[in-house]
């Protein structure tokens, strides 16, 4: 599709095109990286007192930052920040255009809740840190509790940028 074909008409989002783009991104880059994210046992510091020592939260931040950088979203700047004794932070900013003075904030977190392994159906092959795609659903800890937030935010930005 040419960039001219993907432009919006009178500023309206072409939802079908945006959805097609996001589905293609899901298959080509998001799913594999989200599965890698699920494999990291990056529990919230409330449930993992050695979170800084074991480095799981940093691994998760590095994985997601690497994915963001590979997307090459026009105008996006990514800052990785880590203060002593604090969890890592990814800050992404995209300058708006002159059509609006509004600010949009999208937030997500990198840590996960405890795995509650006793609640996972072992007989069906499900485990909190083993991603399983079954019947169009992705199972694994963090895949639906904000692990997706970076992908959703960047995917939305990409879809909007493609349509001008």
Does pLDDT of 105 surpass 90? no
| Average pLDDT over all residues of the chain | 86
Per-residue confidence (pLDDT) for residue 11, from 0 to 100: 66
For residues 94-108, give the mean pLDDT.
Answer: 79
For residues 16-29, give the mean pLDDT.
Answer: 88
Per-residue confidence (pLDDT) for residue 4, from 0 to 100: 45
Does pLDDT of 5 surpass 50? no
pTM: 0.85
Does pLDDT of 3 surpass 60? no
Per-residue confidence (pLDDT) for residue 97, from 0 to 100: 74
Contacts 24+ apart (CB under 8 A), 30-36: 30/151, 30/155, 31/133, 31/138, 33/63, 33/64, 33/67, 33/151, 34/131, 34/138, 34/143, 34/147, 34/148, 34/151, 35/131, 35/133, 35/138, 35/140, 36/63
């Amino acid at each position: 599709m040419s960039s001219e074909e993907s432009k919006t008409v009178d500023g309206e989002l072409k939802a079908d095109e945006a959805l097609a783009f996001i589905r293609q991104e899901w298959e080509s880059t998001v799913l594999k990286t989200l599965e890698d994210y699920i494999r990291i046992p990056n529990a919230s510091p409330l449930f993992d007192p050695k979170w800084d020592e074991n480095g799981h939260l940093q691994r998760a931040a590095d994985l997601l930052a690497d994915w963001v950088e590979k997307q090459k979203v026009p105008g996006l700047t990514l800052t990785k920040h880590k203060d002593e004794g604090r969890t890592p932070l990814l800050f992404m900013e995209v300058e708006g255009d002159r059509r609006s003075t509004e600010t949009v904030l999208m937030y997500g977190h990198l840590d996960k809740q405890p795995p509650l392994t006793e609640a996972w159906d072992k007989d069906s092959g499900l485990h909190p840190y083993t991603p399983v795609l079954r019947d169009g659903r992705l199972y694994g800890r963090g895949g639906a509790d904000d692990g997706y937030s970076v992908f959703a935010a960047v995917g939305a930005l990409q879809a909007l940028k493609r349509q001008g």
